[in-house]
Amino acid sequence: MTALVFQGKGALVEALREARETLDRQLAMGLVSPNEALRAAAWDAVAEQAIRVTQVVTLLFRIERGAVSKPLAPIEVDAKALAEQRARPQERLLADFRNAHAQLLRRLESWRDENILFERSRLVAPHASLAAWIWHVVGKRERELAAQFAAMSNERN
């Protein structure tokens, strides 16, 4: 995990917001693409991130309440959960994708003790902060997906 330095939770929130905006721009084209493979990949990305971000929000809620005492396992999106998401109506899936991210930003903006976010944490990889973990799991992944969709779109054009 690359150690990132954020100057407070506002900087983390802004970085997550920017990563999502970049992903949204790339996905917007993919979700309506006439290319079936690109369209399916875009919907898979929406499903995956809806699950991933919801898991992060849930963990943050538990951490803030003191209900997590052991190191966090990597966020995994299993095939069953992904299949369940894919089977849902696309409007609901897209709403979950957007709402989970909005909830993540709200949770971080209202976080009371920034020390928990920014100090090295026993809950995440050695020498990493919870903020760096959140970035790695959500922001970095969204940047990777955006780059992947930009490349796919360029290949198709």
Tell me the per-residue pLDDT of 7-50, one tens digit each, with 9 for 90 and over.
Answer: 889 999 999 999 999 999 999 888 888 889 888 999 999 999 99
pLDDT at 157: 56
Cβ-based neighbours of 108, under 8 Å, separated by 6 or more: 9, 12, 13, 16, 60, 117, 134
Asked if residue 68 lies in contact with residue 123, where contact means CB atoms within 8 angstroms, the answer is yes
Phi-psi map region of 66: left, alpha, beta (phi>0 left; psi -120 to 50 alpha)? left
- More confident call, 85 vs 154: 85
Residue 105's beta-bridge partner residues?
A: none
Tokens of 11: 């900087």
Pairwise CA distance, residues 46 & 38, whole Å = 12
Pairwise CA distance, residues 17 & 81, whole Å = 25
For residues 47-58, give the mean pLDDT. 94
Reported as a pLDDT band with limits 50, 70 and 90, residue 143 is very high
pLDDT at 21: 96
Asked if residue 97 lies in contact with residue 27, where contact means CB atoms within 8 angstroms, the answer is no
Structural domains of the chain in order of their starting residue, each with its CATH number: 9-156 (1.20.120)
Reported as a pLDDT band with limits 50, 70 and 90, residue 1 is very low
Reported as a pLDDT band with limits 50, 70 and 90, residue 128 is confident
pTM reported for the whole predicted model = 0.89
Q: What are 58-116's pLDDT values in tens digits?
A: 999 988 888 887 777 778 888 999 999 989 999 999 999 999 999 999 999 999 888 88
